[in-house]
């Protein structure tokens, strides 16, 4: 039962014999800084600000005169600066994401936000002046001295037509702090501090958001239904807050698009993700053409659940016939490390190191950010992961997923990628993680003894695939429809946004699922719609899902010889565009035929599942 799992995770705190497990499930952030004293942290943040000012003094108004060597010096100075203060920034932000109710975490998070804003303001000139320099001397991009930064400079050149003057950029940073950034923070803080009352085994329990969503995957159908009903009914009550936040962030984006001369609301994200419109159009068209494949899976799942039709609370639910297997933290570690080790010994050792050095926060607690993430730690050649681990098979998959991000970080560190080349656009950023899920599937399937176990594994994988490729596509259609509505002069109040969400959702699901009425409020809790200056968060996940399923097909065809190719792709960081990376593997991602390969791989898993019937 989901409930007993949650309770057991809680009691770990009080049982002596298990206190070791609790420690293992809490990350050790102290490795990020030399000194964890609050005053030392704050001092370091102050130095971070003054050092940025020093870079400003040295280079402001001088970048236009730099030659290739001078430019190399600037880029290396900037990279060294990032590495020096990365740890302290992560320390403050990660501590807050693990417990936003802690006073210390609140203070440090506030301090890091203020310091980063000052740094951004001091260094805003670099990209602007660099843009100006490259606009004047585009040949610098190809200068052999700057080989390591070639694609980095190409990407800046692409942003040049949309840059504003330094004064304007500084004003934007300043007004965003208490504008869209504050709306984003309100949505996230409001959500993570909500509690929900729900009846479990005759008793009323009050659960934080991060815990009650664990019930969505409970084997008890009625409990799943009540959990969904409770959460979305309560979230809907605050629809004025959510709608105000989403409206402010979207309308601000529309204004910014005009100011920056972006032809469409998606352009900024296309540039950030290093992809082009043709590729994304081809991807989304493939999805629209393939909704029947997803709907076929949903019907298959209904059959496995002995239902006429799925309800929304069955979408990611375990099968009723499935074994009630719950995973202890240690077991999860064995499976996930083993999955990576079977593919590649080195990757397995990196994953194991993540556990060994306590870089994963798995405990559930109030005030902890919902969902899961992985933060690369460049200076430490490692990463940190946050997740809420309740022992479900889905949590094991999340762990394999986030550790795939960590593997990606290790691979880039090993290749010696500079900070400028380290952050990968979201389309490629999910390659290691989704590939890891497929490796976990392979391992679990090979160990499965019964057809019920196989069904549980394949439905977990295909549920995830369906969510990432199709449900997430609904979010892309939804976001697009909000911008279309704003353009038509519509006011986005809660009910209007809800109608747009339902329309986008139905485009994907047709009539294959029964939705609770309150599910119209599903958009309220999706942090992605509220992220300031980061619009269209979602399509890269659709991209990644089909991209990796297609890569996996290649692995199955080529066997071991594929492994170094994947490692090369992961090691490349941002030195090549997704289009280039794919073409090195023989694919053209502007063509629908490529994306259909990913769909075909999913269909193959569906056939495996059908065979278990």
Q: Which residues bind Zn ion (CB under 5 A)?
A: 430, 433
* Closest distance to Zn ion from the beta carbon of 114 (Å): 29
Please give the helix or strand (H or E) that residue 58 lies within, else none.
helix 38-59
> For Zn ion, which residue has the nearest CB?
433
Alpha-carbon distance of 332 to 397, in angstroms, equals 9
* Closest distance to Zn ion from the beta carbon of 292 (Å): 27
Q: Which is nearer to Zn ion, 210 or 540 (CB)?
A: 540
* Closest distance to Zn ion from the beta carbon of 401 (Å): 6
Long-range CB pairs of 191-198 (<8 Å, 24+ gap) are 191/370, 191/525, 191/527, 192/100, 192/367, 192/368, 192/369, 192/370, 193/100, 193/101, 193/366, 193/367, 194/234, 194/235, 195/366, 196/230, 196/231, 196/234, 197/230, 198/226, 198/227, 198/230
**Which SS3 state, helix, strand or coil, does residue 12 take?**
coil
* Closest distance to Zn ion from the beta carbon of 387 (Å): 11
Alpha-carbon distance of 512 to 69, in angstroms, equals 61
**Which SS3 state, helix, strand or coil, does residue 426 take?**
helix
* Closest distance to Zn ion from the beta carbon of 542 (Å): 13
160: Cβ contacts below 8 Å, ≥ 6 apart: 131, 132, 134, 135
Instruction: Give the residue among 356, 358, 359, 396 at the shortest CA–CA distance from 375.
Output: 359
* Closest distance to Zn ion from the beta carbon of 238 (Å): 28
Q: Which is nearer to Zn ion, 59 or 397 (CB)?
A: 397
CA dihedral 411, 415, 418, 423 (to 10 degrees): -30
Q: Which is nearer to Zn ion, 112 or 407 (CB)?
A: 407
Q: Which is nearer to Zn ion, 433 or 480 (CB)?
A: 433
CA separation (Å) from 215 to 207, 225, 393, 468, 577? 10, 9, 13, 20, 40
Alpha-carbon distance of 52 to 115, in angstroms, equals 10
Q: Which is nearer to Zn ion, 24 or 430 (CB)?
A: 430
* Closest distance to Zn ion from the beta carbon of 78 (Å): 27
* Closest distance to Zn ion from the beta carbon of 525 (Å): 18
Residues 266/280, Cβ–Cβ less than 8 Å: yes
Q: Which is nearer to Zn ion, 130 or 372 (CB)?
A: 372
Residues 214/1, Cβ–Cβ less than 8 Å: no
Q: Which is nearer to Zn ion, 504 or 548 (CB)?
A: 548
Q: Which is nearer to Zn ion, 89 or 430 (CB)?
A: 430
Alpha-carbon distance of 7 to 213, in angstroms, equals 14
């Amino acid at each position: 039962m989901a409930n007993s799992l949650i309770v057991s995770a809680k009691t770990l705190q009080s049982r002596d014999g298990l206190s070791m497990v609790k420690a293992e499930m809490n990350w050790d952030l102290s490795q990020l800084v030399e000194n964890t004293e609050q005053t030392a942290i704050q001092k370091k943040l102050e130095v971070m600000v003054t050092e940025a000012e020093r870079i400003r003094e040295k280079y402001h108004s001088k970048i236009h005169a730099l030659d290739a060597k001078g430019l190399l010096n600037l880029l290396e100075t900037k990279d060294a600066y990032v590495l020096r203060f990365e740890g302290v920034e992560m320390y403050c932000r990660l501590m807050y994401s693990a417990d936003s109710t802690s006073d210390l975490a609140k203070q440090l998070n506030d301090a890091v936000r203020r310091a980063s804003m000052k740094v951004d303001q001091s260094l805003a000139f670099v990209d602007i002046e660099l843009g100006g320099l490259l606009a004047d001397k585009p040949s610098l991009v190809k200068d052999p001295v700057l080989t390591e930064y070639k694609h980095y400079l190409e990407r800046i050149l692409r942003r040049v037509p949309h840059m504003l003057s330094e004064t304007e950029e500084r004003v934007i940073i300043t007004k965003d702090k208490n504008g869209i950034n504050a709306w984003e923070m309100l949505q996230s803080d409001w959500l993570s501090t909500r509690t929900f009352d729900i009846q479990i085994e005759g008793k009323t329990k009050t659960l934080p958001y991060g815990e009650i969503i664990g019930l969505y995957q409970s084997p008890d159908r009625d409990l799943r239904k009540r959990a969904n009903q409770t959460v979305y009914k309560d979230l809907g009550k605050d629809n004025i807050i959510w709608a105000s936040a989403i409206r402010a962030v979207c309308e601000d984006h529309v204004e910014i698009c005009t100011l920056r001369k972006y032809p469409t609301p998606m352009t900024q994200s296309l540039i950030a993700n290093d992809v082009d419109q043709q590729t994304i159009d081809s991807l989304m068209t493939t999805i629209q053409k393939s909704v029947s494949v997803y709907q076929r899976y949903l019907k298959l799942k209904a059959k496995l659940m002995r239902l006429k039709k799925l309800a929304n609370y069955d979408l990611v639910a375990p099968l009723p016939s499935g074994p009630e297997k719950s995973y202890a933290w240690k077991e999860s570690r064995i499976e996930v490390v083993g999955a990576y080790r079977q593919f590649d010994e080195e990757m397995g050792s990196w994953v194991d190191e993540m556990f060994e050095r306590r870089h994963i926060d798995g405990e559930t607690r109030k005030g902890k950010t919902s969902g899961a993430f992985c933060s690369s730690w460049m200076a430490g050649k490692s990463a940190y992961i946050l997740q809420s681990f309740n022992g479900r098979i889905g949590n094991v998959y999340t762990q394999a997923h986030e550790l795939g991000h960590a593997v990606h970080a290790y691979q880039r560190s090993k290749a010696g990628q500079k900070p400028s080349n380290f952050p990968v656009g979201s389309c490629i950023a999910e390659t290691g993680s989704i590939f890891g899920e497929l490796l976990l599937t392979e391992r679990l399937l090979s160990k499965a003894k019964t057809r019920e176990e196989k069904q549980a594994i394949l439905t977990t994988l295909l549920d995830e695939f369906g969510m990432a490729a199709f449900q997430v596509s609904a979010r892309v259609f939804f976001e697009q429809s909000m911008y279309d509505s704003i353009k038509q002069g519509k006011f986005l109040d809660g009910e209007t946004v809800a109608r747009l969400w339902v329309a986008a959702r139905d485009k994907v699901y047709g009539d294959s699922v029964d939705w609770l009425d309150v599910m119209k409020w599903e958009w309220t809790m999706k942090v992605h719609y509220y992220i300031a200056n980061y619009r269209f968060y979602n399509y890269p996940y659709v991209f990644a899902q089909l991209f990796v399923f297609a890569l996996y097909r290649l692995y199955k065809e080529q066997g071991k010889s594929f492994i170094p190719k994947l490692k090369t792709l992961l090691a490349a960081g941002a030195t090549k565009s997704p289009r280039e990376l794919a073409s090195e593997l023989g694919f053209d991602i502007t063509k629908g035929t490529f994306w259909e390969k990913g769909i075909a791989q999913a269909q193959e898993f569906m056939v495996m599942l059908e065979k278990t019937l």
